[in-house]
């Protein structure tokens, strides 16, 4: 335990700031870009629970882009006919200031269609997550795709909650897939605004999200919260992994209320992996205090995705053997020990960058835990770090702990002669190193593997 604590302390200074996007670098208010929109479609091209979607071309400062114009089907309450547009503008100004890869961009507002300003955002050819997954149903790596999109979703929600924003309407329809294949959250805050200020959508569009509602909202009328977002997120994972709606056997709100009273979960495991199903059950706990945070679930999803990617490289997608299993256990331990240092940013790295980062974490754990003379495995990992370098890491190691450099090459040659391993022991790490830097695996095997 002492050595693990030491490693964690070392890594506190290894990784530079993740650069989490700020909400304070944009001017307040959502711009009216009505005059910059042209070629608006004559009729809606799509329909949401409480909106009609038109397309148009936005002539922005950086060029022309195709946009979606979301026209809200809302009739303000008589006493608040002027208040609803003001509330909408104020709430949308929060969305406009949020910048994150998993948050859909709000370009501005459009006046002139409908009783309240329409929302303008980039058009997504890939549509929402349900449509996207249906089109990729024959993908041989569909589970890996679902896992990556799930990571996108929960990382976006983690960002919102970290900026004191409750989404309030998490469901598949509100997860759009960008042209780069990245899942992005949209429409947060809209359902609450419409429920509070519109007489036409309270029991139609907004109430239509009942299947994703947490029981404390559906049964007791409590306000949306971080915890209710987590319930809805569990329901969304059921959509993603099982391709069915939550509570898909219930045909009306009465049946749904009976299910809530009986503490019936919104779905079943079906073909969902055991770990994902366990997390869905955690999110959909009827005890609000037992639901995990977005940060906790993001860590679990991102770790699993990283480990799956590394496993494919190390095992070549074949049945795992003992040396491969041992290496993967070490990878998992090194990542978990440094989970607070950029884990949710780790899964988005390109293959070579991710492999390099994983090897560095392994090597640093070996160095931080080293007591006495290094073992053959320690020396191989230090050799890897010497050749890959520390990258963008900022090191502040305890006294007596040193990082090897490429200048020590002759030093590592003597290690290779004195401490060699069987080729089968070196191959899993060599495959990982090869992913990080093509050609380096051959040098590793020559340096450390005994030829038989």
Known binding-site residue numbers for ATP: 70
8 Å CB contact between 265 and 329? no
8 Å CB contact between 298 and 344? yes
Three-state DSSP at 185 gives strand
**3-state class percentages of the chain: helix first, strand second, coil last, to nearest 5:** 50, 10, 40
- In 145-188, which ranges are E strands? 175-177, 183-185
Three-state DSSP at 10 gives helix
Write out the binding residues. Answer: 70
Give me the residue label for tokens 């269609």: 113
Task: State the pairing for strand pair 175-177/108-110.
Answer: unpaired
Give me the residue label for tokens 């899993």: 428
Cα dihedral across residues 337, 342, 345, 348: positive or negative:
negative
8 Å CB contact between 234 and 284? yes
281's tokens: 């059950």
DSSP string computed for 246-298: TTTT--SHHHHHHHHHTT--S---TT--HHHHHHHHHHT-SSGGGSPPHHHHH
8 Å CB contact between 119 and 109? yes
8 Å CB contact between 69 and 55? yes
Q: Provide the 10 A C-beta neighbour count for residue 402.
A: 10
Q: Which residues contact 22 (CB under 8 A, 6 or more apart)?
A: 99
For residue 141, what are the CA distances in angstroms to 178, 230, 308? 19, 27, 11
């Amino acid at each position: 335990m002492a050595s693990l604590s030491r490693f964690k302390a070392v890594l506190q200074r290894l990784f530079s700031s993740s650069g989490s996007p700020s909400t304070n670098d944009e001017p307040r208010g959502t711009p009216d870009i009505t005059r910059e929109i042209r070629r608006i479609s004559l009729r809606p091209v799509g329909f949401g629970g409480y909106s009609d979607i038109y397309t148009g071309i936005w002539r922005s400062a950086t060029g022309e882009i195709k946009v979606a114009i979301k026209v809200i089907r809302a009739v303000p309450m008589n006493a608040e006919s002027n208040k609803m547009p003001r509330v909408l503008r104020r709430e949308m100004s929060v969305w406009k200031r949020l910048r994150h890869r998993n948050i859909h961009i709000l370009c501005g507002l459009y006046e002139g269609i409908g009783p309240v300003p329409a929302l303008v955002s980039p058009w997504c050819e890939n549509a929402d997550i349900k449509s996207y997954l249906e089109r990729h149903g024959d993908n041989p790596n569909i589970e890996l795709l679902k896992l990556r999109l799930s990571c996108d979703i929960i990382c976006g929600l983690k960002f919102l909650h970290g900026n004191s924003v409750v989404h309030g309407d998490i469901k598949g329809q509100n997860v759009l897939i960008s042209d780069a294949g990245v899942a992005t959250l949209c429409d947060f805050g809209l359902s609450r605004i419409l429920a509070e200020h519109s007489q036409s959508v309270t029991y139609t569009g907004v109430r239509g999200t009942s299947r994703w509602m947490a029981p404390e909202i559906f049964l007791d009328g409590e306000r949306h919260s971080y915890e209710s977002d987590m319930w809805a997120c569990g329901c969304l994972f059921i959509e993603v992994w099982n391709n069915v709606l939550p509570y898909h056997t219930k045909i009306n709100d009465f049946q749904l209320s009976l299910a809530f009273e009986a503490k019936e979960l919104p779905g079943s495991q079906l073909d969902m992996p055991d770990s994902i199903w366990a997390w869905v059950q955690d999110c959909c706990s009827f005890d609000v205090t037992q639901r995990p945070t977005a940060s906790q679930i993001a860590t679990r999803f991102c770790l699993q995705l990283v480990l799956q990617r590394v496993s494919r490289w190390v095992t070549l997608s074949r049945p795992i053997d003992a040396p491969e299993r041992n290496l993967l256990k070490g990878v998992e331990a090194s990542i978990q020990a440094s989970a607070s240092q950029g884990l949710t940013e780790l899964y988005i790295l390109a293959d070579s960058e991710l492999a390099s980062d994983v090897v560095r974490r392994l090597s640093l754990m070996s160095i931080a835990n080293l007591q006495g003379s290094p073992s053959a495995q320690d020396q191989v990992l230090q050799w890897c770090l010497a050749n890959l370098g520390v990258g963008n890491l900022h090191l502040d190691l305890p006294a007596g702990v040193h990082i090897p450099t490429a200048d020590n090459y002759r030093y590592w040659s003597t290690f290779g002669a004195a401490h060699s391993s069987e080729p089968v022991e070196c191959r899993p790490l060599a495959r990982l190193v090869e992913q990080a830097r093509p050609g380096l695996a051959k040098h590793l095997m020559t340096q450390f593997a005994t030829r038989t």
